[in-house]
Amino acid sequence: MYFLWGPFLSRVRTAKQTLYFNWMAQLLPRQTSMFGGRGLFQWLEFTKLVGITIQGDGTIDGSGSMWWQETPFEDPVDNESEFIIPLNKTVQQHPPMPIRSELNGKMPSIKPTALRFYGSFNVTVTGITIQNSPQCHLKFDNCIGVVVHDMKTSSPGDSPNTDGIHLQNSKDVLIHSTDLACGDDCISIQTGCSNVYIHNVNCGPGHGISIGGLGKENTKACVSNITVRDVVLHGTMTGVRIKTWQGGSGSVQGVLFSNIQVSEVQLPIVIDQFYCDKSVCKNQTSAVALSGITYEKIRGTYTVKPVHFACSDALPCMDVSLTTIELQPLKEQYHLYDPFCWKTFGELNTPTMPPISCLQIGKPSSNRPQSDHDTC
């Protein structure tokens, strides 16, 4: 069991160990030869541990601006940005990143995650601040029993691909009382995640709280029992979002978004089953099946479009439930759109503001049974 601290390697031998961070660590290599090859995947890594706690009031600084400045336009682009059309054509879509790099020459192509846990049980992260990560700030892969609370991530809103908290193949996760500012999803929930409970989180800047993108390169994705409630999003690109690629399989089911307060959010509610982070993606008929998606008490202001439901032609979204949706437009700098729905079926339990008349009530007439291809 190893963890990586810049160029230094140490061993953690005992289970149920608490590591205290009460100081600031700036992860700043002085020469590119320290990376070796294409680079490091993470600055700090904890692998196959039981009962590990990271706590304290210290700061981990990932010195990410060296990567952001080096290749700001080579990274995948969030395709929801295509709806964001400035009224003032002089607004910069990709403002330049600040130059803070002390390194000469090109940075390694791999961007490190600041702090990663892999294959661990009963993991707790609390108190610390992670800032300016080259890529993800905090990542959990193949973990069971994760608790994150009273911590912060902090990176500029235009820092590329800097997810706040990234979950993959992880179960029984609790995230609460946390402030997340980054340049991508504040929380990203990927395939293999179930029993995830998120509450009392502040998000912004960033791209909101997202499930996906799922099903990339015709893969199977399974996500279930996700609850996001009592969350505040300010100045984010999207609010609460589910995004899947064409050609995938598997399912997303049992998702609740409740009591979400949005302020100056561009697209507060999004389902996008045509997600694509490059200029062209192949049209495909298979899709990740989405069902049992509940939105309740989503209130606040938007600047582009209140609701965007773009579901698969072959496998429409089912059992999408809307209750107490109250979203007011702020016409300041972007073109405004009406709510949009495509192949989206469910129910309106209360009147919505604005009216979401495009939602199709009930179930699709040609609803086909879920096949083994879809089953998780």
> What one-character-per-residue DSSP string does 178-236 give?
EEEE-SS-SEEE-TTEEEEEEEEEEE-SSS-EEEEEE-GGG-EEEEEEEEEEEEEEES-
Residue 42 has a pLDDT of 86
Residue 351 amino acid letter:
P
Backbone angles phi, psi at 28, to 5 degrees: -130, 95
At 208-267, the pLDDT tens digits run 999 999 999 999 999 999 999 999 999 999 999 999 999 999 999 999 999 999 999 999
At 68-106, the pLDDT tens digits run 876 545 556 777 777 777 776 544 444 433 333 444 446
Residue 224 amino acid letter:
S
At 114-131, the pLDDT tens digits run 999 999 999 999 999 999
User: What per-residue string of b and e applies to 286-296 under the rule 16 or more CB within 10 Å gives b?
Assistant: bbbbbbbbbbb
Residue 5 has a pLDDT of 38
Distances (CA, A) of 139 to 61, 116, 256, 268: 15, 5, 23, 24
Residue 75 has a pLDDT of 59
Is 288 a residue whose pLDDT tops 70? yes
Tokens 């230094």 appear where? Answer: 8
Give me the half-sphere count of Cα atoms (radius 13 Å) on the Cβ side of residue 258. Answer: 10
| Chain mean pLDDT for the chain | 85
Please enumerate in sequence order all residues whose Cβ is within 8 A of that of 44, keeping only pairs 6 or more positions apart, or say none. Answer: 3, 4, 5, 60, 114, 115, 116
Please enumerate in sequence order all residues whose Cβ is within 8 A of that of 177, keeping only pairs 6 or more positions apart, or say none. Answer: 149, 150, 200, 201
| Confidence (pTM) | 0.88
Q: How does residue 268 score in pLDDT terms, banded at 50, 70 and 90?
A: very high
Is 23 a residue whose pLDDT tops 80? no
Q: Which of 137, 166, 207, 308 is catalytic?
A: 207
Residue 178 has a pLDDT of 98
Residue 203 amino acid letter:
C
At 339-376, the pLDDT tens digits run 999 999 999 999 999 999 999 999 998 756 556 667 88
Q: How does residue 14 score in pLDDT terms, banded at 50, 70 and 90?
A: very low
Residues in the chain: 376
Is 313 labeled as catalytic in the residue annotation? no
Structural element, H or E, at residue 20: strand 17-20
Is 184 a residue whose pLDDT tops 80? yes
Residue 71 has a pLDDT of 54
Is 1 a residue whose pLDDT tops 60? no
Residue 363 has a pLDDT of 93
Q: How does residue 12 score in pLDDT terms, banded at 50, 70 and 90?
A: very low
Residue 21 has a pLDDT of 63
Q: How does residue 279 score in pLDDT terms, banded at 50, 70 and 90?
A: confident
Q: Which of 184, 185, 272, 374 is catalytic?
A: 184
Is 94 labeled as catalytic in the residue annotation? no
